[in-house]
């Protein structure tokens, strides 16, 4: 760094025991830099989680959205009716892709609000409902971190870290399926 007069070295080792770990800058005040894995997770309409992308490098999440929607279409045979996303995913490129395929994206539209008060109120209600339903993704992350040990990963090898995260998501899905089965049997038993 001194000889080349630079302040940055790509793929530098930040942990001797885990040389594959890279610093990932986040917009959090208490921890501006995170060390570990980064992954995108999606929930389908039944509430089951899937890991869409897993990496130890920092990447832009907006690039994974279209491929996740295409994988959904491959699995189900059709595009989703709507996609509930965080603000970072609402880029012009993603909006154009969704418009092209007839998919409604959550969140406010670009530009000014509708001039018609009834239409503006209707859009506000839909946006509020979408935000309430999008909380399920955040809840799934929180549940995986608190209850299924995703926040306490201590593995050292690259493959075992990936396996631990995958097992945490799998456990979250298994308990979701178990809850559905139990509620079915309770309903069936009462009927």
pLDDT number for residue 34: 72
Hey, how many other C-beta atoms are within 10 angstroms of the C-beta on 95? Answer: 15
DSSP track, 15-80: -SS-TT--EEE-S-SS-SEEES-EEEEEE-TT--EEEEEEESS---GGGGHHHHHHHHHHHHSS--
Q: Is a pLDDT exceeding 80 seen at residue 182?
A: no
Confidence of residue 188 (pLDDT cuts 50, 70, 90): low
Task: Indicate the domain borders of the chain.
Answer: 23-190
User: Domain 23-190 falls in which CATH fold?
Assistant: Nucleotidyltransferase; domain 5 (3.30.420)
Tell me: the pLDDT tens digits for 48-82?
888 888 888 877 778 888 999 999 999 889 999 88
**Tens digit of each residue's pLDDT (9 = 90 or more) over 108-162:** 777 777 778 787 788 788 888 888 888 877 887 788 778 777 777 778 888 888 8
pLDDT at 190: 60
pTM of the model: 0.72
pLDDT tens for each residue of 35-46: 777 788 888 888
Tens-place pLDDT, residues 1-30: 788 888 877 777 777 777 777 777 777 777
């Amino acid at each position: 760094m001194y000889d080349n007069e630079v302040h940055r070295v790509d793929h530098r080792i930040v942990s001797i025991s885990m040389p594959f770990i890279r610093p990932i800058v986040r917009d959090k005040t208490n921890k501006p830099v995170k060390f570990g894995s980064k992954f995108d997770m999606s929930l389908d309409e039944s509430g089951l989680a899937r890991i869409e992308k897993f990496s130890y490098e920092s990447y832009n999440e907006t690039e994974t959205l279209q491929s996740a929607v295409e994988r959904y279409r491959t699995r189900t045979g059709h595009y989703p009716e709507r996609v509930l996303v965080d603000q970072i995913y609402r880029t012009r490129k993603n909006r154009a892709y969704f418009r092209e395929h007839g998919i409604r994206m959550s969140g406010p539209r670009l530009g000014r609000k509708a001039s018609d008060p009834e239409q503006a109120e209707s859009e506000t209600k839909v946006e509020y409902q979408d935000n309430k339903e999008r909380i399920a993704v955040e809840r799934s992350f929180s549940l995986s971190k608190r209850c299924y040990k995703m926040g306490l990963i201590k593995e050292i090898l690259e493959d075992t870290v990936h396996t631990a995260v995958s097992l945490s998501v799998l456990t979250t899905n298994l308990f979701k399926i178990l809850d559905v089965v139990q509620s079915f049997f309770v309903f069936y038993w009462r009927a």
